[in-house]
Amino acid sequence: MDKIRIRGGKSLHGSLHVSGAKNAALPLMAASLLTDQTLTLVNLPHLADITTMANLLSQHGVSIHMNGHAAEGGHTGRVVELSAGTIASTTAPYDLVRKMRASVLVLGPLLARCGQAQVSLPGGCAIGTRPVDLHIQGLEQLGAEIELREGYVHARAPRGLTGTRILFPKVSVGATENLLMAATLARGETILANAAREPEVSDLAHCLVAMGARIEGIGTDTLRVIGVDGLHGATHQVIADRIETGTYVMAAAITGGDIELIGGRMDDLTAMIAVLSKAGVDFEPTDRGFRAARTRRPLRGVDVMTEPYPGFPTDLQAQMMALMCAAEGAAMITETIFENRFMHVPELARMGADITVHGASALVRGVPYLTGAPVMATDLRASVSLVLAGLFARGETVLNRVYHLDRGYERLEEKLAGCGADVERIRGEAAA
């Protein structure tokens, strides 16, 4: 298994390209199931989770052509054509779903297009129990008959789905996306109230509109969908990854550096920018994206609470915690989205961090320095928080279980090294 070795203490300077957003790309790929025509996605990131989704879609009968890298238009990602001419299977098997929870996003499209779907329940996850009850209840409200048997969701809608008003009791990105896709082909009008407003949801909605869907209220918490008889092919560019962007902003901040995020969108990160500005980071738009620098001021502790968009993202909480370890003063970090998303705390503590957890809050007291150590993490964002800590730490940090990072960060070590970090991947057996 690969490892990543970081020798800390170098401040980051330069520029890096932000990749296409993983969490936008996954539902967009699932949307290809809604039409027998070709959906072309531009700026797809090269990540393990994208490969997992491609494998799942292939076994549903989707033919997939990857057209390599395309550099025009400022993006560096791949162009992928997905054609679901006929659906070969409406079953998403456990072996694929257990690798990636986002597989459940095929449920809505398969049910809407084929009138049935059997999707394995994803099961628990390192960061929380993460049920899919909101997806299921919403589809039932659209008229689906659903049974949970032998670890699978068995969904049927032999006479099609029918639009209705669905009020989500809790904001859920995945449930909003699943229901939005299903509603595009439902009879009549569907209202999704208390819908997630994440930029990835809006990106999906824009793509569906390009495919012929009728959706109003994009970007708000109330989506109105007027069902159509069929969708058609389209070409859509995946938005830049705001979480990857935010992660590299924090890498610049923790090292006292100054980097340009090419393709980065400040508008998608207003909550993080407000918090980091208070902490001592300067931001400036550029022709190609924006710059983040922490060269003029010391880092200060700032309190943060994660919230659904447009609040501070849970997917940046672990990185923020690493950053606050390097700040003067204390910071209270409260996680409200997932019940078990502090697994980075003991690993950061092994590097010398001073963090006390009380329920859903962690009190981080800044320390003058961290020390490098061998570390490992149990999920994607926790892993990258340890990379950030390693960039700040004295000495050498070796991150194990790099496969977590590879699920969501494309060429992380190259991007960081390109800005002057001393970081390298130790491959396979050499790492054993």
For residue 265, count other CB atoms closer than 10 A to its CB: 17
Q: What is the DSSP letter of 240?
A: B
Q: Is 130 a residue that touches ligand EPZ (CB under 6 A)?
A: yes
Both tokens assigned to 91: 């079953």
Helix residue ranges per DSSP H, 61-130: 94-97, 107-114
CB under 6 A: which stretch of 132-140, 214-222, 251-259, 267-275 binds ligand EPZ?
A: 132-140
> What is the pattern of x (binds ligand EPZ, CB under 6 A) and - over residues 392-431?
----------------x-----------------------
Place of tokens 């690798």: 99
Choice from 34, 44, 102, 345 touching ligand EPZ (CB under 6 A) = 102
Q: Does 123 bind ligand EPZ (CB under 6 A)?
A: no
DSSP assignments along 150-180, one per residue: TTEEEEE-TT--B--EEE-SS--HHHHHHHH
* Residue 234 in the binding site for ligand EPZ (CB under 6 A): no
Site for ligand EPZ in 192-221 (CB under 6 A): 196, 200
Tell me the one-letter amino acid at 310. Answer: P
Kindly identify the residues of this chain, within the stretch 329-348, that bind ligand EPZ according to CB under 6 A: 337-338
CA atoms within a 13 Å half-sphere pointing along the CA-CB vector of 291:
14
Of the candidate residues 2, 3, 19, 23, the single one contacting ligand EPZ (CB under 6 A): 23
CB contact at 8 A, 230 and 212: yes
One symbol per residue from 348 to 387: x for binding ligand EPZ (CB under 6 A), - otherwise; what is it?
--------------------------------xx------
Find the binder of ligand EPZ among 31, 50, 92, 132 (CB under 6 A): 132
Query: Is-contact 84 92, C-beta < 8 A?
Result: no
95 lies in the binding site for ligand EPZ (CB under 6 A):
no
> Which stretches of 326-421 are DSSP H helices?
344-350, 380-392, 403-406, 412-418
H/E stretch holding 83 reads strand 78-83
Is residue 419 flagged as an active site residue? Answer: no
Q: Do 25 and 42 form a contact (C-beta atoms < 8 A)? A: no
Least Å distance between CB 196 and ligand EPZ? 6
Stretch touching ligand EPZ by CB under 6 A, among 28-36, 125-133, 154-162, 368-376: 125-133
Residue 133 binds to ligand EPZ (criterion: CB under 6 A): yes
Distances (CA, A) of 87 to 90, 207, 394, 404: 7, 21, 54, 31
- Total number of residues that touch ligand EPZ (CB under 6 A): 25
Question: Please, what is the minimum distance in Å from the beta carbon of residue 54 to ligand EPZ?
Answer: 15
List alpha helices for 118-265, DSSP H. Answer: 133-141, 173-184, 199-210, 242-254
Question: Catalytic residue positions?
Answer: 125
- Residues at the interface with ligand EPZ (CB under 6 A): 23, 26, 101-102, 128, 130-135, 170, 172-175, 196, 200, 314-315, 337-338, 380-381, 408
